[in-house]
Amino acid sequence: MGTFSGRAWLSALALVVGAAPAFAQSEPVQLDPMTVRRLTDLPGEAAFLGSPYILASRNSVEFNGRLYFLSNVYDPKSSIRVGELWVTDGTPQGTRSLQEWLPPSTSIDPLSLRATPHRLFFTARTPGARFQLWTSDGTREGTHLTRELPPDRIHGVGYQTPIIPVGDSVLFTVLGTGGLPAELWKSDGTEAGTVPIKNVAADSAYVTAGGSARLGDTVFFTASGPAGEELWRTDGTEAGTLMVRDLNPGPGSAFPRDLTAVGGLVYFAAQTRQEGHSLWKSDGTAEGTVRVADFPREGAGNHIFHLTALGDTVFFISYAPEGISLWRSDGTEAGTLPVMTKPASLIGGTSQGLFPVGNRLYLVGQDSVAGDSLWVTDGTPEGTTRLPRPAPFERAFIDGATAWEGGLAFTVTTGEGASELWRTDGTDAGTSRLTRLPSGQPSATSAGLVPFQGALLTTAGDAWTPRALWRLERDDASLTFVCPATKDVPSNRPEGTDLFNHPPELRSGPEGAAIRSTFMNGRLLRLHEPTPITYQAEDALGRFAYCTTVTTSRDLTAPAMNNCPTALTLSAQSARGVTFYYPGLLIVDETSRDVLVTYSPENGSVLPLGTTQMTVTAKDASGNVNTCSFPVTVRDNQGPGRACKVNEVRVEAEGPGGAHAFWPDLTPSDSISSQVTVTSTHASGDLFPLGLTRVQVVSTDDAGNSTTCEIQVRVRDSRPPALTCPEDQTLTTSVMSGTRAEYPAATAADSVSEAELLYSPVVGTPLAPGLHAVQVTAIDAAGNAALCDFHLTVQYDPTSDMRQSMGCSVGSGPESAVGWVALVALAWTLSRRLKDGKPRG
């Protein structure tokens, strides 16, 4: 959200400044992706910019998870800007002044705040005293003067003298005779560790403000002595503090400036009598300090500025009669090439700032007359473009910029005092407004941006707060005004308009959000006098939204139209659509009694399927016109009829795999759509398994309406197996109690499943002599059963076992008969002799 297409990256800003939009605004107003919260009010002229003329300067440092900053207040007694120490953890409760940690009336040098891994350092002074070096570990007890300077250092530390962090220590200079920075010191925050490194004044030299740069543990700086103002270096020791090379031999000065570390070298601008102004580089040795390229310009003095590292390449700005140029250099003369040259009026002739972000470099040109400009480059002429001006037809100014989320975040303030936060990745499509900033306080526009905890902090004032610290953070449900650049309100009296409750629309905010404006409710807005009005909204979560609109009272009293719908959706009554009648609109006019109302399309028209734009126009006797326009969408919301002609189909199983089932054709009807598509999980005639199968049938018309019905297919096995019993059987036994049942198996056949055979009595069951019935049951997997029976006769024959006793076999032939007669005779004889247990004669 908040992103605008292609060329329209600043069209929303044009809404604020009253100029015509820079680009076509075809997209609806989007919610800003960031929200604004106030952390605390700030005193004086607090700002995050250390210098009002250097866009990249800061008077804040991050230390131990908190941000320490200075309030940067102008002191009329000393005519210098001094700082008051503050700290924030990103919350209102954790944002407060730390001046109580310092002696009363202590003032801090606004450009002196620095941090090492374990301490803060800054220079401060008490009334009637000089600036001295202070330190803090983030606690009241750990905040103290590092060391009282010796009495002979009557000037103390110079105002806006650089403090350079090196490891856990800092380097700084102490003023000598005449107030010149002459003595180089270092401090680790302790009294014993705050010591002078070298008295440069002893060599008839003094440290200048030409700049400094670090390469590892070596610091490069400029100092002036018998050889003039030249390049020096120090490793923190007296022996290691010396002039690198006399660039301009003799007493003349080379004026090294803009010292910048790039890779393993330090680049700087300098000038000599022979070559004029040149680009130099140094590895810290005299022989390794060489000129890279010359930029002669007679009588122009220094004209190479803003040396900035991007990877292993140094970029800088040069001034020439033909205009302002952006250059790049790889450290060789052949590799020092112009990227672009433009007239000063196009880039911004007052000052510039270079911001490296990733593999891109942004150039901000600041011009107090023509307005500011923003450029982006990948280091090649063809990859260098200018992003559209914030306000194409009016001045706009970039008051803060910083690398953030892989791009450049920056603030823009217009001549009307409206301020906004933007972000760009260097492309039109990747450039968007993030939020509107507090506005309505011309003397306290947004100044500086500091990334902190993934959010952005800035200082600004609005019409109700002189200046405050604000937190800007991502928020998908932020408050957002629909903020037009200009707004004409109809006059309700000859002198103008008594303005009542006229704030712009507020998006995404709760209904209870409080809205106030700089224009008193009910006050007369005079006819034809454009008046900037700033609106502020605040919700219960402490989120703010701002809008500045230039409002003008005009004789534009058109009929008021209330109850205008935003959009309507109707269901089609037939294939032609639906007959539409406009809803009742409350149309009133304060001056005209006769209002002509027209409708397009006419009332009672038949609207076809799709969307039709409806317009109601009301025109009063003065020719003022108001319209109410809304889309009416006619949709086919009626689903087709059921395609299923039957709900259930029952079939007999054909085999183990089930059976084929058939049903009537699926033919749904639809009174609106001309075509209906029918899909089903099974087709008529498919083979279905045993049991219940649910066939889902879906009918879908052209509009996507669908109707579902179901056919239940039941495949059952209701036929019993075909069972065949054996023939009747006869069993002979010589035992009077009978014998065990024995008989052949029955046979059963089933086309669907195997059948289980059950016998009663079962084989092996003891049977007494006589006639027995054997019942056979065949049961298949579906539980279908078939029955049959046969008879089993058990005969008692006492001689049946003798036929096969003792290994002899009694046959059925004549010989067998003779044998049987003999055996019977023998048995009868023995029985007679042994009758009654006694032998007989």
* Predicted local confidence at residue 2, as pLDDT: 34
Q: How many CA atoms lie within 13 A of 676 on its CB side?
A: 24
Task: Say how many C-beta atoms besides its own lie within 10 A of residue 557's C-beta.
Answer: 19
In this prediction, residues 64-75 reach a mean pLDDT of: 82
**pLDDT interval class at 779 (50, 70, 90):** very high
Average pLDDT value over all residues in the chain:
82
In this prediction, residues 717-741 reach a mean pLDDT of: 91
Instruction: Say yes or no to pLDDT of 374 above 80.
Output: yes
**pLDDT interval class at 201 (50, 70, 90):** low
Instruction: Say yes or no to pLDDT of 818 above 60.
Output: no
In this prediction, residues 2-22 reach a mean pLDDT of: 31
**How far apart (Å, rounded) are the C-alpha atoms in residues 288 and 277?**
19
- Given the DSSP bridges, would you call strands 659-660 and 687-688 parallel, antiparallel or unpaired? antiparallel
**How far apart (Å, rounded) are the C-alpha atoms in residues 679 and 675?**
13
* Predicted local confidence at residue 365, as pLDDT: 83
**pLDDT interval class at 353 (50, 70, 90):** confident
Tens digits of residue pLDDT in 547-561: 988 898 887 778 888
**Tokens in use for 296?**
């002669």
DSSP character at residue 402:
E
**pLDDT interval class at 160 (50, 70, 90):** confident
* Predicted local confidence at residue 19, as pLDDT: 31
Task: Say how many C-beta atoms besides its own lie within 10 A of residue 138's C-beta.
Answer: 17
Helix or strand or coil: residue 452? strand
* Predicted local confidence at residue 154, as pLDDT: 60
Instruction: Say yes or no to pLDDT of 468 above 70.
Output: yes
Instruction: Say yes or no to pLDDT of 723 above 50.
Output: yes
* Predicted local confidence at residue 24, as pLDDT: 27
**Tokens in use for 476?**
């998908």
Tens digits of residue pLDDT in 676-695: 899 999 999 899 999 999 99
In this prediction, residues 784-788 reach a mean pLDDT of: 92
**pLDDT interval class at 336 (50, 70, 90):** very high
Query: Which DSSP string corresponds to 536-571?
Result: EEE-TTSEEEEEEEEEEEES--PPEEES--S-EEEE
**How far apart (Å, rounded) are the C-alpha atoms in residues 463 and 438?**
9
Inter-residue contact 745 to 723 (CB < 8 Å) = no
**How far apart (Å, rounded) are the C-alpha atoms in residues 571 and 564?**
20
Beta bridge partners of 588: 560
**pLDDT interval class at 485 (50, 70, 90):** confident
Helix or strand or coil: residue 824? helix
> Across the chain, which distance is largest between two alpha carbons, in Å?
180
Percentage of the chain with pLDDT > 90? 39
CA nearest neighbour of 133 among 104, 101, 159: 159
CA nearest neighbour of 123 among 91, 171, 180: 171
**pLDDT interval class at 152 (50, 70, 90):** low
In this prediction, residues 52-64 reach a mean pLDDT of: 74
**How far apart (Å, rounded) are the C-alpha atoms in residues 30 and 5?**
12
Instruction: Return the minimum-mean-pLDDT range out of 92-106, 300-314, 352-366, 706-720.
Output: 300-314
Q: Could you give the angle at the alpha carbon of 418 between the alpha carbons of 414 and 420, nearest 5°?
A: 95
State the DSSP H helix or E strand holding residue 677, giving kind and residue range, or none if neither. Answer: strand 676-680
* Predicted local confidence at residue 323, as pLDDT: 81
In this prediction, residues 241-269 reach a mean pLDDT of: 90
In this prediction, residues 663-686 reach a mean pLDDT of: 88
Q: Show Cβ contacts of residue 602 under 8 Å, excluding neighbours closer than 6 positions.
A: none
Beta bridge partners of 729: 792
Q: What length does the chain have?
A: 841
**pLDDT interval class at 5 (50, 70, 90):** very low
Task: Say how many C-beta atoms besides its own lie within 10 A of residue 558's C-beta.
Answer: 20
